[in-house]
Amino acid sequence: MKQYAGLAHAMAIVVLLFGAHAASATMIDLTTAGASGELNGAIFEQINPQAMGTGVIDSFAQIGAANLTAVQGYNTTVNDVFNNGAPDNFNHSITIGMIPVVSLESVDYYQFLLDINENNNAALDQYLSLDEVQIFVGGSANPSSTSFDANGILQGVGTLVYDMESNVGNWVALDFSLNSGSGGGDMFLYVPVASFGGAASDAVVTLYSHFGAQGLNPEEYGAGNFGNSDGFEEWAVLPVDEPAIVPEPATLSLIGLGLAGIAVRRVARKH
């Protein structure tokens, strides 16, 4: 299990985005409808699934375990790799050509969809922390590696092209209750096309993610159970032959101003 030492006892400080110390972590708060933020060049945006219609989600990774607070996994047909699901139709390799491209303020991004599934019937259990996203290109399809290097980077699954956490404790706060239920999507992740280094459309893409490490009542947020409390979290892509879904103009203007969306907080990491 990947370690996130010191996150539960981090000291919360609110500072300007550009004045934070290099050792500080960033928490993006997506517990407000339409909120967005930026981490290491990628954009995270809370979404309303009603705008997408029905039958458009093509899941490629299911991650979850009913008896664990924190879960992790990546897209592969190999069973029992971390906490990935077993059905191959929901857990499988994808290629660059399967991922839609969205242009935001003249920058092209690959668009990924996250659908979370938390307990919306218990007080404050609707929350979930997204603690890591690592994206790799060019490895073999459907790998089975479970090893990390000293910096927490998954090994043996291709070339790293994006790392959300960057070994400083970055995380994203999510709220399942903002939407009517599972299966519609809760967040878009936009990763710059340029980060993929011009890889061919048939290049394999592996997306590793980690959820729930913040647990109960993280100090930098307040009351809430941000651990895994229900079913699978799912990563998906929208059909590439349909019109792209892009953020609202207000979201784009905030990103363009360099504010990286609304509700971004910096938290000092305890060593």
Q: What is the pTM of this model?
A: 0.83
- Per DSSP, the residues of 171-217 read EEEEEGGGSSSTTS-SEEEEEEGGGGTT--TT-EEEEEEEE-TT-BS
Q: Does residue 194 fall inside a structural domain?
A: yes
Residue 1 inside a domain? The answer is: no
Residue whose C-alpha is closest to residue 207's, from 113, 67, 69: 113
Residue type, position 162, single letter: Y
Residue 111 belongs to a domain: yes
Place of tokens 């990763």: 191
Q: Provide the pLDDT for residue 231.
A: 84
Output the pLDDT for position 248.
57
Give me the numbers of helices (H) and strands (E) for the chain, helices first please.
Answer: 1, 16
Could you give the percent of the chain with pLDDT greater than 90?
64
Confidence tier at 260 by pLDDT (50, 70, 90): very low
Q: What is the predicted pLDDT for the residue at 239?
A: 86
- Which residues neighbour 187 within 8 Å (Cβ) at sequence distance 6 or greater? 30, 44, 45, 46, 47, 113, 114, 116, 130, 172, 174
- The Cα 107–Cα 220 span in angstroms is 32
Average pLDDT of the segment spanning 140-165:
97
Q: List, as one string, the DSSP characters of 244-260.
A: PP---HHHHHHHHTTS-
The pLDDT of residue 270 is above 80 = no
State the Cα–Cα distance between residues 78 and 145, nearest whole angstrom: 10
Question: Within a domain: residue 2?
Answer: no
pLDDT greater at residue 207 or residue 222: 207
Phi and psi angles of residue 260, each rounded to the nearest 5 degrees, phi first: 55, 45
Bridge partners of residue 27, in order along the sequence: 171, 265
Cα separation, 251 vs 262, whole angstroms: 8
Q: Domain limits at 204?
A: 7-268
In a domain, 138, yes or no: yes
Q: Which residue has the tokens 């929350």?
A: 127
DSSP letter at 128?
Answer: E
Cα-based distances in Å from 167 to 3, 5, 25, 74, 213: 10, 10, 9, 19, 14
Q: How far apart are CA 88 and CA 90, in angstroms?
A: 5
Q: How much of the chain is in helix, strand and coil states, percent to nearest 5?
A: 10, 35, 55
Give CA–CA dist 54/120, Å, rounded: 21
Most confident of 78-82, 239-243, 261-265: 78-82
Burial of 200 (0-12, 13-18, 19+ CB in 10 A): exposed
Any domain includes 241: yes
Q: Return the pLDDT at 225.
A: 93
Taking only the tens place, the pLDDT of each residue in 39-72 is: 999 999 999 875 554 445 779 999 999 889 999 9
DSSP 52: G
Arithmetic mean of pLDDT over the chain: 82
Instruction: Quote the number of domains for the chain.
Output: 1
